[in-house]
């Protein structure tokens, strides 16, 4: 079974600085998809960014970017110019293929210090 | 609809009672998922459907839990003879079902068993 690991239960970053959240996963598949979700105190689940495993180029969405290392099975999230509104739980998720289950990591709680 | 709708938002029930949680996915979304989330933890997979077919129910904790999606749209998660350990946030999510389609989450039903 696929597993997703987030080794940092908590992280903090100074406002306007850059922070990187780590995620590793275990799979024997070559075709899959990876996602980062944000869960603020309101407990909504908000998609931050996604990556297709067949794409070598790292995905970017404004201040958010990923470092996807397929061989290492690593999928880290970089947040640049951190803002107070970035404070949240961040979950990494893996999906094997069309119609398959999404597997979530345990999450990293990010605090942004003013 | 504009988003995934879950009802009720909050449910308090006494131990031993049955509860039914409803999910109305985004219109046209093929796949529907049920997750359970404890505070401070990642979503835990319960079951998912493609159209009306239940594809995977391996995450259902025991036979007191069941789910259906009879017409391929609205889904109901039923918990029979509730126990205190069933208390959690139950989240529904839907997806268009294509490769990199993300999950779109509802706001969840917070279940408290007293």
Give a three-class secondary structure readout of chain B.
CCCCEEECCEEEECCCCCEEEEEECCCCCCEEEEEEECCCCCCEEEEEEECCEEEECCCCCCCCEEEECCCCCCEEEEECCCCHHHCEEEEEEEECCCCCCCCEECCCEEEEEC
Chain centroid to CA B74: how far? 11
C-alpha span between B46 and A60 (Å, rounded): 31
The CATH code of the domain that includes A41 is 2.60.40.10
How far is the alpha carbon of A54 from chain B, nearest alpha carbon, in Å? 11
Of A45, A101, A109, the CB nearest to B56: A101
Q: Containing domain of residue A96, as a range?
A: 3-113
Contact A34, A96 (CB under 8 A): no
The mean pLDDT value for A50-73 works out to: 95
Q: In this complex, is the C-beta atom of B111 within 8 Å of any C-beta atom belonging to chain A?
A: no
C-alpha span between B18 and B96 (Å, rounded): 31
pLDDT in tens, A34-58: 999 999 998 899 999 999 999 989 9
Chain centroid to CA A7: how far? 12
Instruction: Give the residue with greater pLDDT, A102 vs A80.
Output: A80
Tell me which chain A residues have a C-beta less than 8 angstroms from the C-beta of B43: 45, 91, 104
Q: What is the pLDDT of residue B1?
A: 52
User: Concatenated DSSP letters for A29-75?
Assistant: -SS-EEEEEEE-TT---EEEEEEETT--SPPEETTEEEEEETTTTEE
CB contact under 8 A, A102 and B103: yes
Closest listed residue to residue B67, CA positions, set B98, B30, B12, B22: B22
Residues 53-92 of B with CB under 8 A from A: 55-56, 59, 89, 91
pLDDT in tens, B5-21: 999 999 999 999 999 99
Instruction: Give the residue with greater pLDDT, B8 vs A101.
Output: B8
Q: What is the pLDDT of residue A99?
A: 59
Using alpha carbons only, give the angle A81, B106, B49 rounded to the nearest 5 degrees.
Answer: 120
CB contact under 8 A, B42 and A97: no
Number of folded domains in chain A? Answer: 1
Query: For residue B37, is the peptide bond before it cis, meaning its omega torsion is within 30 degrees of 0?
Result: no
Of A35, A52, A91, the CB nearest to B42: A91
Confidence of residue A98 (pLDDT cuts 50, 70, 90): low
Contact B35, B90 (CB under 8 A): yes
Q: What is the pLDDT of residue A2?
A: 78
Of B33, B50, B108, the CB nearest to A102: B33
CB contact under 8 A, A33 and B100: yes
C-alpha span between B92 and B12 (Å, rounded): 18
Which residue in chain B is spatially nearest to A103 when comparing CA positions?
B45
CB contact under 8 A, B99 and A43: no
């Amino acid at each position: 079974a696929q597993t997703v690991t987030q080794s940092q239960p908590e992280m903090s970053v100074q406002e306007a600085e850059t922070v990187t959240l780590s995620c590793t996963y275990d799979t024997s598949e070559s075709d899959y998809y990876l996602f980062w979700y944000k869960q603020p105190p309101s407990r909504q689940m908000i998609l931050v960014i996604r990556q297709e495993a067949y794409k070598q180029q790292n995905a970017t969405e404004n201040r958010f970017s990923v470092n996807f290392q397929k061989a290492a099975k690593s999928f880290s999230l970089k947040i640049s110019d951190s803002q107070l509104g970035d404070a949240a739980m961040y979950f990494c998720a893996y999906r094997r293929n069309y119609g398959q289950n999404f597997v979530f990591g345990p999450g990293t709680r990010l605090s942004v210090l003013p | 609809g504009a988003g995934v709708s879950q009802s009720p938002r909050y449910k308090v029930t006494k131990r031993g009672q049955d509860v039914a949680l409803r999910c109305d996915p985004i219109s046209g979304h093929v796949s529907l998922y049920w997750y359970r989330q404890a505070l401070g933890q990642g979503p835990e997979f319960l079951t998912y459907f493609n159209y009306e077919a239940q594809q995977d129910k391996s995450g259902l904790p025991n036979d007191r839990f069941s789910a259906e999606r009879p017409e391929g749209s609205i889904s109901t998660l039923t918990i029979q003879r509730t126990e205190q350990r069933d208390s959690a946030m139950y989240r529904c999510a839907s997806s268009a079902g294509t490769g990199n389609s993300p999950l779109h989450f509802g706001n969840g039903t917070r279940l408290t068993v007293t």
